[in-house]
Structure 1
């Protein structure tokens, strides 16, 4: 996350000069190279170096995913593109869970390779997927700078444009802050939820493996709800005022995350409706802020703005991981959820204010 924080704004600004394709393809090739050598490191220093390279590839790819969504979507179908991108990301996470985590065992059991070699083959398989995706990006994206950029400004000027956009346009600032919160939402669910429910199951007398299974089933409810909701939200997103949808998304997420703090038994039946609300809220905030920043970003500064947007997301991940971990231990396992719920609630109030402000430029939304 530190690498993403340091590099994302620069990457976004550079893409306004060089174009999206070269950075997107380059990022995927960096990912492929890092995965290819990941299984062959011999000591901690080499491992850290490879992880830094991997993080750079993630940063390059992550910023360009957002930039491409902003560039290529017609305004009337932007929500659908973001929604189906959310589905693709969810399917990718599912593929990791049901296939790639089992791949080392498959290599050992079916092909009889040693365990260390199985790990190397798994990393090489990931490298192959990244390389294949780089080819898709090379074929599918337009080369060169975006056509709406007619002058080559210095990178520092482009970076300043990304900062100034948040200062001058309250809707872009709302999107930046929502990126911080949306990535925090994902950390809370991905990091602390499984830990909390696994510990609760063990405290209730379950064996560790059974407690993990129960926690995994409840985690799956959140993920499946988000996956099913994403395309539905995409169609809604193209038929509503984007700031209004951002406001509603933050409100739903706040209800879910704060509500989980009042559940007396995390393994009880009352948890199920809250998990559905969290799944809907998490996906809604993530999609709504991406659509809002795409709508509001001026064409000449889209890369710079998406870089700042990605910066906000990385900062949210780092903040919630650090602070959430501390209050998980010192206050209680529900504390990180309530904290991120309060962040959502505060932004909900700000979104109400922003919604009342006039549009900064004409926007076409499908009716």
Structure 2
């Protein structure tokens, strides 16, 4: 019984560690650029490697949890993530660093998708969406924690020491997860033996194909907006004339809003339809993007607008995780969550590329925020269509 009480907090801790390692490269990037004199294109190559790995982890590794169990896949993913994050500390070239980030990203993608599915498994139907959203809030909390740690570390530690510290965390957590999580409830033998490909095929069976694709497109667009904002916002605002420290403070406002938004929306989903909560949140977030677009020249209004943008856009993304996890029955939840998360990671890869293209075209920060507002409205349409019809428990061959 004690293990049952620890299960959800341990899932939240795993999400936090995933958030720390996801943020590590962005925090180390200025130091790497200084030491290696990296051009922007080379840095973009390294930064884009982890989201690509997350796609592979979400689509290939996470669905295996439907067959062999959530806990072993989560433990393996954490060890994998830690190993290749630690190897970043000995990187001596851009290709090696990009390769390690790609491999670490596989562990990140598999871990976060499996954590979402495991949290849903351990939750009652009434609390499933809420608990997944709460656990997913650990990701931005980890990002904030990583930033605080990086600021407090002495300069002598450098980026190599940073990777040693952050990379050790998932390795330490893996055995805690292995011994701390309760034994999983066994599914019927026919479902335990179901192949990953069969689970994925069920996502498109009996008329669910168009809904699945619409859902994945909506999630991809949501991640595209999120990763664009997180990775490009400080650079855009610094280029618009804001002091560097002020532009960095925008990420604090965004992530603080994300944590509050994720937890607040999780509470709201206990009393209202998760589908309506999530789609309404993204609709309102487009208004926050417009407010940010017209506030780029004034610091206080801009920070307020970005706080609400984080609360609604990033918080909405966490609530979206709860909606997705509750959408699928247990026997295909790993495949469903993995596929949705993989689609999101494809959006994460394209987000920085979209930013680079818009900047190259000469778009101002305000105009770019208006583009993001339009993308958020597309997210609303895709999610509404993609979640209109729930999956049933029928096992299809």
Q: Is the 8 A contact 1:200 1:267 kept in 2?
A: no
* Alpha-carbon displacement from aligned partner over 1:306-343 (angstroms, at most 9, x marks no partner): 11111111111122221222012313333443333212
Specify whether residues 352 and 153 from structure 1 end up closer, same or farther in structure 2 by C-alpha distance, changes over 3 A only: closer
The answer to whether residue 316 in structure 2 is matched with residue 266 in structure 1 is no
Instruction: State the alpha-carbon separation in 2 of the partners of residues 89 and 275 from structure 1.
Output: 18
**Greater alpha carbon shift after TM alignment, 331-340 vs 133-142:** 331-340
Check if 1:243 corresponds to 2:275. Answer: yes
**Alignment match, 1:225:** 257
CA-based RMSD = 2.9
Out of 91, 104, 108, the position equivalent to 2:141 is 91
Shift of 1:58: 1.6
Offset, 1:183:
1.6
After superposition, give the CA deviation of every residue in 1:82-133 in whole Å (9 maximum; x if it has no partner).
Answer: 343244223211111111354352xx3xxxxxx6xx5444322223211121
**1:226, 1:279 within 8 Å by CA — same for their partners in 2?**
yes
- Normalised by the size of structure 1, how large is the TM-score? 0.82
Q: 1:194 to 1:37 in 2, by over 3 A?
A: same
CA drift of 1:146 comes to 5.2
Equivalent-residue separation in structure 1 for 2:330 and 2:121 (angstroms): 8
Q: Does 1:167 align with 2:199?
A: no
Gaps of 5+ in 1: 109-114, 203-210, 363-367
Aligned to 1:15: 65
Counterparts in 2 of 1:352 and 1:27: CA distance versus 1, 3 Å: closer
- Where relative contact order (Cα < 8 A, 6+ residues apart) is larger, the structure is 1
Aligned-partner Cα distance in 1 for 2:208–2:101: 34
Moved more, 140-149 or 184-193: 140-149
- The corresponding residue for 1:180 is 220
Provide the secondary structure at the position in 2 that maps to 1:39. Answer: helix
Q: In the TM superposition, what are the counterparts of 1:25-104 in structure 2 within 5 Å?
A: 25-104=75-154
Alignment of 1:1-367 (within 5 A): 1-105=51-155, 108=156, 119-142=159-182, 147=187, 150-151=190-191, 152-164=193-205, 167-168=208-209, 170=211, 175-201=215-241, 211-261=243-293, 263=294, 265-330=296-361, 331-350=363-382
Deviations 1:156-201 (A, max 9, x none): 222322444893584x555433421332232122112111211222
How many pairs were matched up?
Answer: 341
Shift of 1:235: 1.1
Deviations 1:253-283 (A, max 9, x none): 222224433x164335442442233122113
Q: For 1:179 and 1:235, how far apart are their aligned partners in 2?
A: 21
Q: Which residue of 2 aligns with 1:111?
A: none
* Distance in 1 between residues matched to 2:391 and 2:81, nearest whole Å: 38
